[in-house]
Amino acid sequence: MTSQYMLGIDTGGTYTDAVLFHETEGVMAKAKSLTTRHDLAVGIAGAVHAVLEQAAAPVSAISLVSLSTTLATNALVEGQGGRAGLVMVGFGPEDLKRDGLAEALGNDPVIFVPGGHDVHGNETMLDLSVLDAALPELAKNVSSFAVAGYFAVRNPSHEIRVRERIREISHLPVTCSHELSSKLGGPRRALTTLLNARLVSMIDRLVGACEDFLIDHGIDAPMMVVRGDGALIAASEAKVRPIETILSGPAASLVGAQYLTGLDNGVVSDIGGTTTDVAVLENGRPRLDAEGAVVGGYRTMVEAVAMRTYGLGGDSEVHVNDRGLTASFRLGPRRLLPLSLAAALHGDAILSVLERQKRSPHVGRHDGRFAVRTGVPDHLASGLQAGEQALFTRIGKVPVALEDLLTTTPQKATLDRLVARGLVHLCGITPSDAMHVLGRQAQWNAEAARLGLELAMRIKDGSARPIAASAEELAEKIVARLTRQSGEVILAACLAEDGAEIDPSKSNAVDRALKRAEGIVRFAVALDRPLIGLGASAPVYYPAIADLLGAESAIPADADVANAIGAVVGQVRAAASVFVTMPEEGIYIVNGAGGSVRLLDEAESFALARARASEAALAQARQNGAEDPVVNLLEDIAAPEIEGQRKLVEARFIATASGRPRIAHH
């Protein structure tokens, strides 16, 4: 029996979870450890050691290790990631205006290289002189590169040549758009590739930390990572295509939710420290987003669960609007390091400052706020401006109070940029602190949470009254805001799935329904299926949220580690697309899964396309870690009759290979 143990690991923004799972016995042991961003292996080690100790299992009993993570999702939601250089082959500056590419690019550099292909794979001459001139200097200011070529999905040769040149000169990671998607739509493919490039160093560190831990502890088993559609891929592939791990954590939680509850239909809402992820479970499977995953406001080409991710979690920043006659609250989208957690890690460095600020008769602008380095490697801080570097130098491994750090108003914007780069954490009050004050959570330092809320409750509203009479009252208001905001995002996700264009946060009718307002006309709103609450804090938040939404609450016993469970019960899947077009009568061009081939017979070209797609999908599935993959082939042939004659526009052959991951046989 022990030879079939599987180790599931989920690295979230706040916690790293681990489960030891057996295919017939289920969850044998589970544990949590704080995610340690400066060295992810520390958090992984803490959780894994705990489950092995609980189960009294030897490391030789582990036959498979599988990892799910919210780090890539969180990075995109919070606008973080490394600085990347974008190389556009055959595109012009006007193409940046499409699909949000310019907005996503921000201040990162872009180079336009002449070249590219047409829809049939025929090339325009490639000229690398612009790239050669810019590369030596550019390589010093970015951590990775993204390459997107015009019609590269039909002929990737120019992307490959550009990739080789960049690697030769810069020795930095390079992502090509054809490696990520076979769909047309150059700017969106470029956007997806850019985001992938930004995530490379982060996911490489995570996977590397996990691999190092396994080696150091003698765990000799294949390692998998959960993809955004819930499928598994080999860790080596995740390092190259980290964008595919966006929504990895949420996808794993859906797979885990279905396994844990046995429910085929439900609304799954997973609350973490940084985000709330909402998706619909239908007929035992998660709905997939046919258009591609939307994360952080960007529509990517990554096939993933139809999951909506919102910047709302237990560690969300609490914003107080004190301009009205009564104060109002808003949470997120940025994650803060909760004061209770910061004090648990750094003790007196937090508590002494909070006590000093509380003794002051004046309310300080930055009361209860600190900054601390996230601890990422120094090379990820490349390309900082002089002001950013000066401020970054003053922030260390121990939190420093913002009142001591910020001496001029512009420095606040500078600090925000360091936070967005993932170099610095802000510490402040969060819903997690409110829960500590109310006694509903107790894992960190409740004294720091109380001091933080006592400082915040001194803020005065528009009628010159403090926003709360006690720390408990303020805590209740923050938790009530989280309940209401959670209800709104769950409704927003479900209404979008129904095709209804209603924003619950702005609808008077929804507001009346949620408040259960009295009136001649009574409004009501309810879900048609159970609300499955997941996450470590699900039991303390979701009963009230389900009640607000008129839904049955389903919180499984292992809701706190659903992601880690989902990581080990999934399958490996890989897809490959091959196209056949007819540029002129009697000429057939086969593109995809290899170089372009020109044939004179339709049946022969279709047979080649089928064989190519099947072979490529099987090869990719094996590379992704499948043991004995089986292939399924879909054909989409557009061949209308024009003036009585059949005219082939395009034939698409999509092969999908799937199977369980390889396991070690000790």
Is 219 strand, coil or helix?
A: coil
Residue 509 forms part of a structural domain: no
Contact at 8 Å (CB) between 65 and 210? yes
Vertex 627 angle, CA 621 and 631, to 5°: 50
- 145-191, pLDDT tens digit by residue? 999 999 988 888 999 999 999 999 998 889 898 888 778 888 989 99
Neighbouring CB atoms inside 10 A of 143's CB total: 22
What's the rounded Cα separation, in Å, for the pair 664 and 169?
39
Contact at 8 Å (CB) between 475 and 446? no
Q: Which helix (H) or strand (E) holds 656?
A: strand 650-659
Chain-centroid distance of CA 59 in Å reads: 30
Both 466 and 578 in one domain: the answer is no
Residue 135 forms part of a structural domain: yes
Average pLDDT, the chain: 89
pLDDT-derived band at 2, boundaries 50, 70, 90: very low
Residue from 235, 266, 267, 231 nearest 247 by CA = 231
What's the rounded Cα separation, in Å, for the pair 571 and 66?
11
Q: What is the DSSP letter of 124?
A: P
Q: Residue 666's pLDDT is what?
A: 55
Residue type, 210: C
Is 453 strand, coil or helix?
A: helix
Q: What is the CATH number of the domain that holds 132?
A: 3.40.50
What's the rounded Cα separation, in Å, for the pair 488 and 506?
10
Query: For the chain, what percentages of helix, strand and coil (3-state, to nearest 5) are there?
Result: 40, 25, 35
Final residue of a structural domain among 143, 174, 199: 199
Residue 442 forms part of a structural domain: yes
Residue 19 forms part of a structural domain: no
Both 458 and 340 in one domain: the answer is yes
Q: Residue 431's pLDDT is what?
A: 97
Structure tokens at 394: 């003053």
Residue 387 forms part of a structural domain: yes
Q: What is the DSSP letter of 617?
A: H
Q: Residue 1's pLDDT is what?
A: 40
Higher pLDDT, 68 or 491: 491
Residue 24 forms part of a structural domain: no
Sequence-separated contacts (24+) of 326-334 with Cβ below 8 Å: 326/461, 326/462, 326/463, 327/459, 327/461, 327/467, 329/477, 329/478, 329/481, 330/481, 330/485, 331/431, 331/478, 331/481, 331/482, 331/485, 332/485, 333/77, 333/78, 334/78, 334/419, 334/426
Q: Residue 37's pLDDT is what?
A: 67
Higher pLDDT, 242 or 446: 446
Structure tokens at 323: 């301009």
Neighbouring CB atoms inside 10 A of 3's CB total: 12
Residue 17 forms part of a structural domain: no
| Average pLDDT value for residue range 419-439 | 95
Residue type, 384: L
319-337 burial code (b ≥16 CB/10 A, e <16): ebeeeeeebebebbbbbbb
Chain-centroid distance of CA 26 in Å reads: 27
Q: Please check the confidence at residue 254 and state whether its pLDDT lies above 60.
A: yes
- 467-512, pLDDT tens digit by residue? 999 999 999 999 999 999 999 999 999 998 888 989 999 999 999 9
Final residue of a structural domain among 452, 478, 504: 478
Residue 45 forms part of a structural domain: no
Phi-psi region of 637 (alpha: psi -120 to 50; beta: other; left: phi over 0): beta
- 354-410, pLDDT tens digit by residue? 999 999 999 999 999 999 999 877 777 888 899 999 999 999 999 999 999 998 989
Both 576 and 467 in one domain: the answer is no
Tell me how many domains the chain contains: 3
In this structure, is the dihedral angle defined by the CA atoms of residues 7, 8, 12 and 14, taken in order, positive or negative?
A: negative
What's the rounded Cα separation, in Å, for the pair 62 and 46?
17
Q: Which domain holds residue 365?
A: 333-478
Q: In sequence order, which residues have a C-beta less than 8 Å from that of residue 49 and are 6 or more positions away?
A: none
| Lowest-confidence region among 205-209, 328-332, 472-476, 505-509 | 205-209
Q: Residue 3's pLDDT is what?
A: 53
Both 339 and 449 in one domain: the answer is yes
Structure tokens at 118: 């047409």
Higher pLDDT, 361 or 35: 361
Kindly report the pTM of this predicted structure: 0.69
Final residue of a structural domain among 199, 222, 246: 199
What's the rounded Cα separation, in Å, for the pair 149 and 126?
10
